[in-house]
A and B are shown apart, each in its own frame.
Chain A
Amino acid sequence: MAKLILSVDGTVLKEISLAKERTTLGRKPHNDIQVDNLAVSGEHAAIITILNDSFIEDLNSTNGTLVNGKPIKKHFLQNNDVIEIGKHKLKYFNDTPVQTAAADFERTMIIRKPAAAPPAPAVPAAAPAMPVAAAPNLSDTQTNMRPLSPPVSPTPAAPPPATAQTAAPAPMPSAPASVAPAPGATREAAIQVLSGAAAGRTLDLTKNLTTIGKPGVQVAVITRRPTGFFITHVEGASFPTINGVALGAQAQQLGDHDMIEIAGVKMDFFFRS
């Protein structure tokens, strides 16, 4: 369970477990966490806890609430966040693993609305008994698509008929915070075009997917994976060759200075030192 350590000038005053769905903080005695100091408003802030996540909300206090030195109105608390209210500090601890290896922990579970609980079917053992009061809107959701309307969409950028083009306009997504191994554990690599109109051009393989070749004729994709770089045939009747040998249907790992030939163009794959 998440907890807060209240301190002032480096002296720990107390530890508060965030057991309640709403924990209030202020100068007045009815608060769950009372801080008797004139810099603190009567009702200063509230911490809302939903299962393993906690949020702090400033209740329009006179002097404001800081988290990690920045004033906030509402903030999703992360492990080791420091809340400052006047001279008082509250450090937030939540050592629940962020969905890491504990496979059982992160299994999809159903949570139930207490009101909608039907004639007592066996409640899944795994489902936690929990407050769902914070889940306000359980009605059908809408997407912003218009049902049954003529398709109107922005025109796409014209696909460039490049010899060696990177795959997508979207920037390489940064690895999600909760995702374990960041891709890119591999060495940097590039391909250099050796023949054809683009001869001499070098293309760094920084994206997870890089397509090469001529669309409609012969296309292959180089995927950047934690274990290395792999080339796979995408389209075209004939397959690209690696060091003169035709690629099979399966992905093939690329080695330093492998020679790729695709759509009549030769390219050299190499690692950046």
Chain B
Amino acid sequence: MAVEFCAKYSDLEQTGVRGGNAHRTRNASGGTVALANALQIISLTDPGRVRGHNEDCVESRPDIGVVVLADGMGGYNAGEVASGMATSLIASGLAQVWTRENLDKLDRDGASHFSQEVLAQQVSAANRAIFDAAQKDPQCAGMGTTLVACLFYDNFLTVGHIGDSRLYRMRNDALEQITRDHSLLQEQIDSGLITKEDARSSHNKNLVTRAVGIDPDVETEIHTYEVAEGDIFLLCSDGLNDMIEDEEIQMTLIALRSNLDLTAQQLVQAANDAGGRDNVSVMLIKVLNSFPVQRGFWAKFKALFG
């Protein structure tokens, strides 16, 4: 099976520090460590075994700790237009506002609040752009996309999501689903109409209740969580979690965690071995070191004159 690798790839070997904009944090020992070195990020997307083309899209900006995954839908093959617009607009939009100038003034709570604010703004802007494009171009009418986007900073993570693309966290060998799908099925589970076990055999798996680009405005669900060294985060499209069970995802993350590349390939391969009926995308983020931001006098001094 051919697994197509995304160009976006960061590893310890790469410094990840580009130009003057690179965001730097200080580690506990006082040395300067780029955020890109604290996080190992692997992205992999595959059309699966049934679909002719891939409507999923992934993008990462290791220097500012941003990862975005989108699963496009609708329109005349315009799903990938919607998902491509969402990932690139949100990633580049965040790069514009998530800057040292804006952040150095803020304490940790302030930064966490600001991260939620900018994420909501960028998703909102992307939503409007996709919606407008869908209105203008008949080929794109009705296109939309699910979304899961994460922003890592100062040992926390802010995640925004819309639809049924997911974020999982593996900590101490326990896998936990962090986002809750905006889908008809999830609502049926929440209301007690159907059990989680029964949900596997539902005919209504593919219906999301929220998507980016369908309406002029969209509500993004945003939360902030603590991040610990050793955590592995998994962003995925429903092509993964519809095809293989959480137990198998967990088993794979535990068995292969020392080789994140292989973990991503194995997850995609398992989804394809199970039928591969949808595009499948995974992004893995391993927290190699903690990434606290120092805010002492020196940091303030540098902020004033930097």
Pairs A–B under 8 Å by Cβ, sample size 14: A50-B184, A55-B194, A76-B201, A99-B203, A103-B277, A108-B146, A124-B74, A156-B173, A157-B173, A168-B250, A170-B254, A208-B251, A226-B273, A234-B256
Interface string of B142-184 (1 = CB under 8 A from A): 1110100000000010000001100000011110111110101
Q: Which of B235-254 contact A (CB under 8 A)?
A: 238, 243-245, 247-248, 250-252, 254
Closest to A216 in B: B258
Instruction: Please measure, in the bound complex, the distance between the C-alpha atom of A51 and the C-alpha atom of B209, giving whole angstroms.
Output: 14
Which residues of chain A are near B71, meaning CB under 8 Å?
108
Q: Is the CB of B200 within 8 A of A177?
A: yes
Interface size class of B (residues with CB under 8 A): 35 or more
Is the CB of A101 closer than 8 A to any CB of chain B?
yes
Q: Which of A58-66, A139-147, A190-198 is the interface stretch?
A: A139-147
Q: Which of B176, B190, B275 contacts A145 (CB 8 A)?
A: B176
Q: Which of A201-226 contact B (CB under 8 A)?
A: 207-209, 211, 215, 219, 221, 223, 225-226
Q: Which of B135, B203, B245 contacts A52 (CB 8 A)?
A: B203
Residues on A close to B: CB < 8 A?
A: 48, 50-53, 55, 74, 76, 78, 94, 96, 98-99, 101, 103, 106-113, 116, 118-119, 121-127, 132, 134-138, 140-143, 145, 147-151, 153-157, 167-171, 173, 175-181, 183, 207-209, 211, 215, 219, 221, 223, 225-226, 232, 234-235
Residues on B close to A: CB < 8 A?
A: 50-51, 71, 73-75, 112, 131, 134-135, 141-144, 146, 156, 163-164, 171-174, 176-180, 182, 184, 186-188, 190-191, 193-195, 198, 200-211, 214-217, 219, 221, 223-226, 228, 238, 243-245, 247-248, 250-252, 254-256, 258-259, 262, 266, 269-270, 273-275, 277-278
Q: Is the CB of A151 within 8 A of B142?
A: no
| A188 CB to nearest B CB, Å | 17
Which residues of chain A are near B204, meaning CB under 8 Å?
50-53
Q: Which of A51, A94, A183 contacts B207 (CB 8 A)?
A: A51
Q: Which of B173, B226, B258 contacts A235 (CB 8 A)?
A: B258
Q: Which of A106, A143, A207, A234 contacts B178 (CB 8 A)?
A: A143
Closest 6 CB pairs of A and B: A124-B142, A52-B203, A167-B255, A168-B251, A141-B180, A156-B173
Instruction: Please measure, in the bound complex, the distance between the C-alpha atom of A170 and the C-alpha atom of B205, giving whole angstroms.
Output: 25
Closest to A223 in B: B266
| B59 CB to nearest A CB, Å | 19
Instruction: Please measure, in the bound complex, the distance between the C-alpha atom of A119 and the C-alpha atom of B215, giving whole angstroms.
Output: 9
Q: Is the CB of A225 within 8 A of B141?
A: no
